[in-house]
Amino acid sequence: MRQNWKLALGILLAVLAAHWWALDEVAALMGPSTEPIPPPSEITRPMLTRTITLPADVSSPEPATPRAAPGPQPREKQALLQPAPQPASEALVEAAIGSAPVAEVFPVPAATPIAPEPLPLTPVPPMATPAPQPDPAPAASAPTPVPEQAPPPPPPAVPTPTPAAKMAEATALPSPIRPLVWPGSKVLTYQLEVNSFPLPARAELRWRHDGAQYEASLALQSLISVTRTSKGAITPQGLEPLRYGEKITARSETAVHFQRDKGIVTFSNNKPSVALLAGMQDEVSVFFQVAALLGGSPQHFVPGTEIPFQTAESRAVRSLVFVVGKSEVVDLPGGRVPTLYLSHTEPPAYEGARSSKGEIWMAPGLDYLPVHIRITEPSGTTYDLRWSQTSAP
């Protein structure tokens, strides 16, 4: 009985060792493959098993000594034969071996891998870019937007004319619009008053011309004598002074030269020269220029009319604007005379100073020559030249 048990146990160990060796060989021969594995039904055959019944008193066999791992395989064989997933039948065999009772399993021959046929590759044509579609036409019911009209531009600003511009406009007008009528040659004599108090002094305004050239002067004879002279040409646009002089008692005369060929005005006292503008006058010629304007077209000089000028004096050039006033009849030493009143405000002598005021009464009966001249100083002192008589030059 004991001999039979040992014999059965030896046979069982031999069968187990054979199965372990067969499984290791199969695993060594099967390697990883990129080829797809056919279904188990195509590579396996039906597995035949035989059941061996052990006696009841047989104890658990001692575990078999594990077999040494096979030696290293060549590189080519390792690359071609790598372990592959086991099919379901082999997994069942391993489960049956590891459990009791143990079934005798016949080795399953390795299946020859079948290379799959390559699939034909059909080239994919490039995608065509869709042609741009025109924008759909707007619906007929949609109203057409009307562009907003820009507001009209504001009218250009009209610059305020300067006294020089007004002067040029007034003195350089064509003769058909502003005809000039020159007064005849004569001498007007005046009585001097200071703050309405007569003084033992007299003044003379002399004017002489031949239609092309002129000479004029304003002289004051008193304790202090002052003489101002002007000479130049008569043109269709008006007087064009060439030289203006001013002499006070025993002092040397100071002169102003109108260099029209150079377009400048120079001063004998070395003051800086200035530009010579059209229609520029001096402190004497301005009286006769105004008289010619008024005598040529008196209807144009209604009250409020401005007559601008630039006038040269011994030290500089200043701008002044005569404003036409109302007609008046004035009582003078030479008699009762109808006149046209004009006034102007002179610029201050220096910054911060008050301005002096000039007033002139022009007599139409004396070719619009001045019969009354008043100067009011910033201090309030007034100087009056009141006409007394007219004589030939």
178 and 306 in a common domain: yes
Q: Which is more confidently placed, 34 or 288?
A: 288
Q: What is the pLDDT of residue 153?
A: 65
99 and 197 both lie in a single domain:
no
234 in the same domain as 368 = yes
Burial of 369: CB neighbours in 10 Å, binned 0-12, 13-18, 19+: buried
Higher pLDDT, 283 or 345: 283
Query: In terms of pLDDT, which residue wins out, 174 or 318?
Result: 318
Both 230 and 332 in one domain: the answer is yes
Same domain, 194 and 86: no
CB 218 within 8 Å of CB 205: yes
Asked which of 80, 105, 130 is the last residue of a domain, the reply is 105
- Residue 251: give the domain boundaries: 163-391
- Kindly tell me if the per-residue pLDDT of 260 is higher than 50: yes
Check residues 323 and 200 and name the one with the higher pLDDT.
323
Instruction: Locate 353 and state its tokens.
Output: 């100073």
Average the pLDDT over each of 202-216, 228-242, 294-308, 352-366 and give the range with the smallest value.
352-366
Q: Does the pLDDT value for residue 356 go beyond 70?
A: yes
Q: Are residues 270 and 382 in the same domain?
A: yes
- What's the pLDDT score for residue 4? 66
Model confidence at 318: pLDDT above 60: yes
User: Is 140 part of a structural domain of the chain?
Assistant: no
CA 247/CA 256 separation, integer angstroms: 12
Whether residue 126 lies inside any domain: the answer is no
Question: Which pLDDT band holds residue 341 (cuts at 50, 70, 90)?
Answer: very high
Tokens coding 301? 């000089």
Phi, psi of 83, deg, nearest 5:
-60, 140
Residue 111 has pLDDT above 50, yes or no: no
Q: Is the dihedral of CA 185, 189, 194, 200 positive or negative?
A: positive
pLDDT band at 24 (very low <50, low <70, confident <90, very high): low
Domains held by the chain: number? 2
Domain boundary among 89, 105, 121: 105
Tokens of 296: 């040529």
Question: What CA–CA distance (Å, rounded) separates 273 from 267?
Answer: 7
Do 198 and 93 share a structural domain?
no
Please compute the mean of the pLDDT values over residues 312-336 and round it to a whole number. Answer: 92
Check residue 187 and give its pLDDT: 97
What pLDDT score was predicted for residue 159? 53
Average pLDDT estimate for 171-196 = 79
Question: CA 232, CA 212: separation in Å to the nearest integer?
Answer: 9
Tell me how far apart the alpha carbons of residues 373 and 360 are, in angstroms, rounded to a whole number: 5
Is residue 142 included in any domain, yes or no?
no
Is 80 exceeded by the pLDDT of residue 200? yes
d(CA 227, CA 392): 19
Over the stretch 288-310, which tens digit does the pLDDT of each residue have?
A: 999 999 999 999 999 999 999 99
Q: Is the pTM of this model over 0.75?
A: no
- Say yes or no: 261 and 382 in one domain: yes
Percent of the chain topping pLDDT 90 = 41
What does the pLDDT average to over 260-268?
93
- Of the listed ranges 11-20, 124-133, 149-158, 174-183, the one predicted with least confidence: 124-133
Q: Is the pLDDT of residue 185 over 90?
A: yes
Asked if residue 330 has pLDDT above 50, the reply is yes
- The pLDDT of residue 250: 80
Q: Is the peptide bond before 32 cis (omega within 30 degrees of 0)?
A: no
Q: What is the average pLDDT across 197-212?
A: 93
Residues 88 and 200 reside in one and the same domain: no
Per-residue confidence band for 158, with pLDDT thresholds at 50, 70 and 90: low
Report the pLDDT averaged over residues 134-153: 54
List pLDDT tens digits, range 42-90.
444 545 555 555 554 444 445 444 454 455 555 544 444 454 454 444 4
Contact 354, 348 (CB under 8 A): yes
- Pair 276, 259: CB distance under 8 Å: yes
* Domain membership flag for residue 321: yes
Answer yes or no: do 61 and 176 share one domain: no
Higher per-residue confidence, 386 vs 153:
386
Which of these three, 105, 136, 171, is where a domain ends?
Answer: 105
| Residue 238 included in any domain | yes
Three-class SS of the chain = CHHHHHHHHHHHHHHHHHHHHHHHHHHHHCCCCCCCCCCHHHHCCCCCEEECCCCCCCCCCCCCCCCCCCCCCCHHHHHHCCCCCCCHHHHHHHHHHCCCCCEEECCCCCCCCCCCCCCCCCCCCCCCCCCCCCCCCCCCCCCCCCCCCCCCCCCCCCCCCCHHHHHHHHHCCCCCCCCCCCCCCEEEEEEEEECCEEEEEEEEEEEEECCCEEEEEEEEECCCCEEEEEEEEEECCEEEEEEEEEEECCCCCEEEEEECCCCEEEECCCCCCEECCCCCEECCHHHHHHHHHHHHCHHHCCCCCEEEEEEECCCCEEEEEEEEEEEEEEEECCEEEEEEEEEEECCCCCCCCCCCEEEEEEEHHHCCEEEEEEEECCCCCEEEEEEEEEECC
Q: How far apart are the first and last CA of the chain?
A: 189
Q: Does residue 175 fall inside a structural domain?
A: yes
C-alpha to C-alpha distances, 368 to 20, 76, 287, 306, 308, nearest whole angstrom: 153, 138, 9, 17, 18
Mean pLDDT for the stretch of residues 1-29:
64
Q: How many alpha carbons lie under 13 Å from residue 330 in its C-beta half-sphere?
A: 21
The CATH number covering residue 316 comes to: 2.40.360
Average pLDDT along the chain = 74
173 plus 93 within the same structural domain: no
The pLDDT assigned to 320 comes to 86
Residue 137 in any domain: the answer is no
- 236 in any annotated domain: yes
- Model confidence at 164: pLDDT above 50: no
Report how far residue 325's alpha carbon sits from residue 360's, in angstroms, rounded to the nearest whole number.
10
Scan for tokens 């009218």, then name that residue: 155
Question: Does 202 score more than 50 pLDDT?
Answer: yes
Residues 6+ apart with CB under 8 A from 219: 203, 204, 206, 225, 226, 227, 228
> Residue 54 in contact with residue 8, Cβ under 8 Å?
yes
Give the pLDDT score at 345. 76
Question: Is the domain of 91 the same as that of 173?
Answer: no
pLDDT band for 92, please (50, 70, 90 cuts): very low
